[in-house]
Chain A
Amino acid sequence: MIAEAGLAALWLAAALALLQFALACLGLNDERTQLRHGVRAVAVVQGLFVALAFALLVICFLRSDMSVQLVVTNSHSAKPWLYKLAGTWGNHEGSMLLWVTILGAAGGLVALLERRVVERTLTATLGAQALISFGFYAFLLFASNPFARAFPVPEDGQGLNPLLQDPGLAFHPPTLYIGYVGMSVAFSFAVGALVTRDVGRDFARAMRPWVLGAWIFLTLGITAGSYWAYYELGWGGWWFWDPVENASLMPWLAATALLHSVTVLATRDGLRAWTIMLAVVAFSMSMIGTFLVRSGILTSVHAFAVDPERGSFILALLALYIGGALALFAIRISTVKEGTQFDLVSREGALVANNLLLSAILGIVFVGTLYPLFAEAVSGDKLSVGPPYFNATAGPLTLALVIVMALGPVSRWRRDELRAVVGRVAIPVLLSAAALLAMVVFAPRIHILSFLGIVLAVGVGAASLAPLWGRNLRRTPMITYGMVLAHFGVAVSLAGMATESAFIKETLVASQMGETHTVGPYKITLKSIEPVAGPNWTALEAELVAQRGDNTPFTLRPQSRMFSNPPTETNEAAIATRLDGQLYLVLGKPDGQGRWQLRLWWKPMVTLIWLGGALIALGGLLSLIGRSLRERGQSLRKAYG
């Protein structure tokens, strides 16, 4: 019964989305205020129904209801409850339902909360949001029904990919999806503003919190995804330029550019067309990300729905939404008045440079990710584009971007003097010079990108604190703290990436029992290898004793795990975190003569990469809270004079 109720809720939500779209179209024409209120109400109810459908699917999974096909294929009654829950979205149908749930919930929230834009624009926005939702409802109902029954009812389920049995990954997709779908709200706002020709500061202020919120989740999702790949795959790397990683990086780059341009629009009423364009691009990238991953067009461990029929359905939606928005842009944007002008050397100028660099990086990642597909379509050749391309192209642009990032916050709005701006970052520049000198003396032979990365990280880290200098720290707005923290986080991440790449130590050995090997500052001794058993796996576990100098030795236990259902092997790396880096040990295969392969890594400062990611997200959160507090204060002052 639960599955049928879920399906019914999904149909109702789809019908409500269609109604919402129709009401919005009618409500635009005249002074039909009633209709516009109706659109708001329908949007809220639609959000509730789709949330109900999703909740019912979660219940099916938690109860291991094996009469539902999706549960059979993706769950097993012996799984821990957390992975039963995660099984709901660890598959094609469930993840699409989660996607459309967030889409519907976001629409409902916009309808409930949004008071800043004119009502006609809001109506158009909710109409656009309803149309997007409707397309995805149709996709679920006609091509990917998550509630389909299994017949005959099997005794038990077929499990879930053990690689995905990890608490980090259980919450990775929802986090990313909130980010992706949050971009849909920005997109709908852009469409709404184009429809009513109302591209101005109010519109930007309404859009900004949504962009900021979505961007926080994207940042968290990417950071968590990177850390997951790092400790779970056992390959010892933190970014592989895998198409699926790129699928989440591309919307993030677009969202970061949008976040900065929407601030220019909200504060200075500049960059109107550019902001609209970025909003369209950011959501397009979110959908393309979903499409690439879900259609199996790009082969990857993540592509678990290889199905051209579903692919063509999403492709049609993509054409409709992105093509439609871009056409609307081309027709309407010239009727939008140009915004305020500004000098090249100004806060706006730095933000434009930031936007251009981010867009260029986005273009590079986009081309690199799609080029293999393009080459195969044109010439039939199979090829892949790997880290060398991405590092060589995106690397230098990223370094240029962090320089701009250091200059922007210390520049004045509208116009400034270049000499004055550089003067304000004199101390960071001196610190960078000191770092440069130190590197030339102590580590002259490292890769140029790592070298520049470390030098710049020092300078940018200091420069990002510059907006706080000479201020009364207790009266500094939370928004400023947010920006400072986010920019400082970028410097921290950059420092981690550059230091790890420059000074990583790797030792690959076939080791006998009792043998000792050296990696970085550590001596590692293989003591024993014993079988161990977990709730749904068995493993071989190595006992490795690590000692640094004369300090107390400690034990690390990497495992090579075997899951029986379905049969899969995974590597559980043993990781010891220290203040100056991580020791990362992986147990490999036996060579048949009593020796075992061991991969030993010393990764100096590697944790800074994710610490930086967390700081960036936290900075975003402070800005979001600071802004809503400030706006509440302003509206209270307005109300009570």
Chain B
Amino acid sequence: MKRLLLWLPLGAFVVFFGILALGLYAPDDRTHPSKLIGKPMPTFNLPPAASGRPGLTSADLRGQPRLVNVFASWCVPCATEAPVLGMIAQQGVIVDGIAIRDRPQDLAGFLTRHGNPFRAIGDDPASQVQIALGSSGVPETFVVDGAGMIRYQHIGPIGPGDVDTILAKLGAAR
């Protein structure tokens, strides 16, 4: 019994050490997933943000599964993401955009430089819809199914390596 007691500190340390190692090797996840996954899109009605594209209302998000991309012209990762979204759109996927705290002339410049994969772009100058969606940063992308339900959330830019996952989630939302 007493001998066992002597090994107790070492045992306690091993447990503590395991926790530290877990904490260290767990992926550093500082993202905040939306609580709306599996729930319907919140109701909103955004005016057009760019000429040549309609605005976006929650009623539009019916019929076909699609991507809703939260972005902004002032967001550097969004610029790297834009061509990838273009590739996805070329495969027949509908991509709708919500421009966060943007100015029309900046947004127009962004779409000219980096391409315009969007069917519609809603203007969200005060981030209200973004907050309602449970999105905490740009860019973020939601997979919405034909019934207007949010099925998947991608936090951060979509890189070429993420395309397959996104397409699979869209396929599953059909």
Contact = CB atoms under 8 A, between A and B. Distances in A.
Interface of A: 277, 280, 284, 291, 295, 297, 306, 308, 311-312, 315, 318-319, 322-323, 326-327, 329-330, 333-334, 370, 373-374, 376-377
B19 A373 contact: yes
B134 to A, nearest CB: 15
Contacts of A377: 19, 22-23, 26
Nearest to A280: B9
Contacts of A306: 28
Given A323-B10, A329-B9, A315 B2 contact: no
A374 B13 CA distance: 14
A45 to B, nearest CB: 34
B9 to A, nearest CB: 5
Contacts of B20: 291, 297, 315, 318, 373
Nearest to A292: B20
Given A318-B17, A323-B17, A334-B3, A297 B23 contact: yes
Contact of A308 (B10, B14, B19, B24): B24
A333 B6 CA distance: 8
21 contacts: A280-B9, A295-B24, A297-B24, A311-B24, A312-B25, A315-B21, A318-B17, A319-B17, A322-B13, A323-B10, A323-B14, A326-B9, A327-B10, A330-B6, A334-B2, A334-B3, A334-B6, A373-B19, A373-B23, A377-B22, A377-B23
Interface string B63-89: 000000000000000000000000000
A291 B17 CA distance: 12
Given A318-B17, A319-B17, A373-B19, A330 B10 contact: yes
Contacts of B25: 308, 312
Contacts of A376: 23, 26
B56 to A, nearest CB: 31
A306 B28 CA distance: 10
B44 interface: no
Contacts of A370: 16, 19
A214 B25 CA distance: 33
A295 B26 CA distance: 13
Interface string B11-44: 0011011011111111010000000000000000
A135 to B, nearest CB: 16
A410 to B, nearest CB: 33
Nearest to B30: A299
A283 to B, nearest CB: 13
Given A318-B20, A323-B14, A370-B19, 18 more contacts: A280-B9, A284-B13, A291-B20, A295-B24, A315-B21, A319-B17, A323-B10, A326-B13, A329-B6, A329-B9, A330-B6, A330-B9, A330-B10, A333-B6, A373-B20, A374-B19, A376-B23, A377-B23
Nearest to A332: B6
B20 to A, nearest CB: 6
A330 B22 CA distance: 26
Contacts of B16: 370
A626 B10 CA distance: 37
A312 B10 contact: no
Nearest to B26: A377
